[in-house]
Structure 1
Amino acid sequence: MIQNTDTKPNPNVSSEEIDSLLTEIVSSNELHFKWLNTLSLLEHIGSRKIHTSQTGALLSEMVLRHASEEARHAAYFKKLALKVKPEGTQTFEKDSLLCGFSAVSYFQKLDFSVERSFGGENLPKHTKSFLCYLYVTKLIEERAGLVYETYDQILDQKNIGISVKGIIKEEESHLSEMDSQLSKMDPKFESRTLEFREKEQKLFQKYFQNLRKEVFQYSLSK
């Protein structure tokens, strides 16, 4: 798993619920295409956020590498989407996404929530920005650990012919780097992590409920 066992969050959406919904998504080429296209969009947004928030003379190799890997993940998920549905769109139009607005909202609100929590901290602007980047990345990678691994297991079980094992391995590396940096930089690392996880869990639960509703509505229409 991407999480360290001693810091693993207690998700309010169970692994069984995630497994059940992803199994239903994978069973439909249309839903599966939209799911992969949405993951591609989220990875692209992640890369763009890194480039936007982390600039200037203090930019490190780690940040540049992370941004490039997120962009590569976005391209890879798009490639997988088109493998599932070769006639699918090359774009991120609304109808090509699975609960796209809610997925993006989850990411944006998490980013804003973490950024706002540092508003009253007496820290240099660059430090605040870097800490926000580290924490948001950590939270996203922890969630990816729960979702991507379940998803990859389903791909194997169903013999779909695609895999996200390479992405999981790189996300594990990202999380390890975030934890290492945060433990050195933030004396409040443990308490702040618990606080931010609670916020992430609430946001993800809302997104998951919307995702489940959209998949259910799609199933009813068939």
Structure 2
Amino acid sequence: MTVLQDPLTISGMMSANKIFEFPVKQFLQQLIMDSTQHARFLNMLAMLEHMGSRKTTAIQAVKPQRMSEDILKHLAGEVQHASFFKRQPQRAAGYDMEGWRDDNTMARVPALMYFGRLDAGISNVVGPSSAYNWVSLIIELRACWLYRIYQQTLAESDDHLSLKPLLAVENHHLQKMYTACGENIDQLKHLSTYESGLFRKLWDKIITSIELPYEPAMQI
């Protein structure tokens, strides 16, 4: 019987980011109580999920012969998640947030820079031919880490939003991408460390982009 390894654990992300779980959760607790800012945060997540689906589509357009059922399923999942998060701002704020602009998307430019730098940095390490799998894997790592904390925070609040179905899909994608990358633990640890540095910079920008009753000393 094959025992599946948990990429979140063996990548070092869980241990390396343990110190940041409390400040992230504290920020999310404050955020959920502000419907307008919560909606802008959700719109940012929708944008990032959409960027992931666009990258998959762009790569497969260049090399359509590599398109497989697994890639199509992954693409469909990213589109569904983008749609899910795009639908939530209307529920949170009471009005539809069309597109992604500075006024309706939290830390829009820093989020774009995070994704772009992550994509470029990983591509430089693994090469263009392997970039899709590795970028997808590292993004899934962060998504699973963040969405777990977000779901815990939501469950402890009066908010009725649930990420449980989405988390189930993300965890499945994470395992699939880890296998697709050859279960290379050393490379996984290296790239996860690189992503953690970019994420901390993004999160600091998220915190400083809005006014909440939040202690700056707790920034990650």
TM range (shorter): 0.7 to 0.9
Q: How does 1:20-35 map to 2 (within 5 A)?
A: 20-35=26-41
The CA distance in 2 between the partners of 1:114 and 1:5, in whole Å, is: 20
Match of 2:120 in 1: 112
The CA distance in 2 between the partners of 1:18 and 1:57, in whole Å, is: 41
Residue 46 of structure 2 aligns with an amino acid whose one-letter code is S
CA deviation after TM superposition for structure 1 residue 6, in Å: 3.3
Residue 199 of structure 2 aligns with an amino acid whose one-letter code is F
Match of 1:215 in 2: 210
Residue 191 of structure 1 aligns with an amino acid whose one-letter code is D
Q: Percent of aligned pairs with the same residue? A: 25
Residue 163 of structure 1 aligns with an amino acid whose one-letter code is S
Structure 1 runs of 4+ off > 4 angstroms?
A: none
CA contact (8 A) 1:134 1:182 kept: yes
Query: Is 1:200–2:206 an aligned residue pair?
Result: no
1:42-86: per-residue Cα shift (whole Å, max 9, x none)?
111100000001231121111111111101111111111111112
CA contact (8 A) 2:12 2:189 kept: no
CA contact (8 A) 2:102 2:108 kept: yes
The CA distance in 1 between the partners of 2:141 and 2:126, in whole Å, is: 21
CA contact (8 A) 2:10 2:189 kept: no
1:7 to 4, 11, 20: 11
Listed as ranges, the gaps of 5+ residues in structure 2 are 1-5, 215-220
CA deviation after TM superposition for structure 1 residue 13, in Å: 5.8
What TM-score do the two structures reach when normalised by structure 1?
0.86
Query: Is 1:86–2:82 an aligned residue pair?
Result: no
The CA distance in 2 between the partners of 1:61 and 1:136, in whole Å, is: 19
Q: How does 1:69-148 map to 2 (within 5 A)?
A: 69-119=77-127, 128-129=128-129, 131-148=130-147
CA deviation after TM superposition for structure 1 residue 11, in Å: 2.1
The CA distance in 1 between the partners of 2:156 and 2:124, in whole Å, is: 42
Query: Is the deviation greater in 171-180 or in 13-22?
Result: 13-22
CA contact (8 A) 2:8 2:141 kept: no
Match of 1:45 in 2: 51
CA contact (8 A) 2:89 2:97 kept: no
The CA distance in 2 between the partners of 1:37 and 1:30, in whole Å, is: 11
Aligned length: 205
CA contact (8 A) 1:15 1:146 kept: no
Residue 9 of structure 2 aligns with an amino acid whose one-letter code is T
Query: Is 1:174–2:173 an aligned residue pair?
Result: yes
Match of 1:122 in 2: none
SS of the counterpart of 1:183? coil
Residue 57 of structure 1 aligns with an amino acid whose one-letter code is Q
Listed as ranges, the gaps of 5+ residues in structure 1 are 120-127
Residue 16 of structure 1 aligns with an amino acid whose one-letter code is F
Distance 1:93 1:4, change over 3 A: closer
